[in-house]
């Protein structure tokens, strides 16, 4: 199974970056996984939201052509850990399709990227920073893969 995580820009918080790396390394023995950091719209003020989203969308767009596209969105479907494991198993493992998780920057994802989603996924009803959402996503995918493989995962 192939899993691709894509988001704009590098995680600036060193602690979050270290946790993301740790979970990615834990995922790799369970699935062929990679992380791509596309170009981030830097130096633009939030009042230019449309320009920021468009610039970041250009970097993300090429990863929406193949696979099962999962966009993180606060308006997306919520799943528990078992539900995510079932999704990964059915859409990734059993179908042979690559799973592509797209995480937006601080403004989220452009509407045209969201339109390409096979699934819009919410990590919680609460709002997380985009850097923390990246970490939570990686941890939850690791947990889901552990469930699929039948490994014990501490709660």
Exposed e or buried b for every residue in 123-154, given b needs 16+ CB within 10 A? beeeeeebbebbbbbbbbbbbbbbbbeeeeee
- Reported as a single tens digit per residue, the pLDDT across 99-153 is 999 999 988 999 999 999 999 999 999 989 889 999 999 999 999 999 999 988 7
Q: Which two tokens stand for residue 14?
A: 């060193």
Secondary element (H or E) of residue 110: none
Residue 7: pLDDT above 90? yes
Q: Are 121 and 79 in contact (CB under 8 A)?
A: yes
Q: Is residue 55 part of a domain?
A: yes
pLDDT of residue 46: 64
Structural domain containing residue 13: 2-149
Count: domains in the chain? 1
Q: Out of 1-5, 13-17, 54-58, 92-96, which region has the weakest mean confidence (pLDDT)?
A: 92-96
Pairing verdict, β 99-102 and 119-122: unpaired
- Reported as a single tens digit per residue, the pLDDT across 55-81 is 999 999 999 988 999 999 999 999 999
Exposed e or buried b for every residue in 22-35, given b needs 16+ CB within 10 A? ebbebbeebbebeb
**The domain that contains 34 carries what CATH number?**
3.40.1280.10
Q: Is residue 130 part of a domain?
A: yes
- Reported as a single tens digit per residue, the pLDDT across 19-52 is 999 999 999 999 999 999 998 887 656 668 888 8
Q: Is residue 102 part of a domain?
A: yes
pLDDT of residue 146: 95
User: Would the pTM count as exceeding 0.85?
Assistant: yes
Q: How far is CA 76 from CA 110, 114, 124, 131, 139, in A?
A: 14, 10, 9, 18, 18
Q: Is residue 155 part of a domain?
A: no
pLDDT of residue 96: 78
Q: Is residue 154 part of a domain?
A: no
Q: Is residue 120 part of a domain?
A: yes
């Amino acid at each position: 199974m192939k899993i691709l995580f894509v988001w704009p820009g590098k995680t600036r918080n060193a602690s979050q970056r270290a946790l993301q790396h740790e979970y990615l390394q834990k995922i790799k023995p369970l699935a062929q996984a990679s992380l791509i950091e596309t170009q981030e719209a830097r130096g633009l003020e939030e009042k230019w939201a449309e320009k920021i989203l468009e610039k970041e969308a250009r970097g993300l767009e090429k990863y929406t052509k193949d696979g099962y596209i999962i966009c993180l969105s606060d308006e997306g479907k919520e799943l528990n850990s078992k539900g995510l494991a079932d999704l990964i198993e059915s859409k990734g493992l059993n179908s042979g399709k690559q799973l592509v998780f797209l995480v937006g920057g601080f403004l989220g994802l452009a509407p045209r990227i969201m339109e390409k989603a096979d699934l819009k996924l919410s990590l919680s009803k609460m709002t997380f920073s985009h850097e923390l959402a990246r970490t939570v996503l990686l941890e939850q995918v690791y947990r889901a893969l552990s469930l699929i493989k039948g490994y014990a995962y501490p709660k």
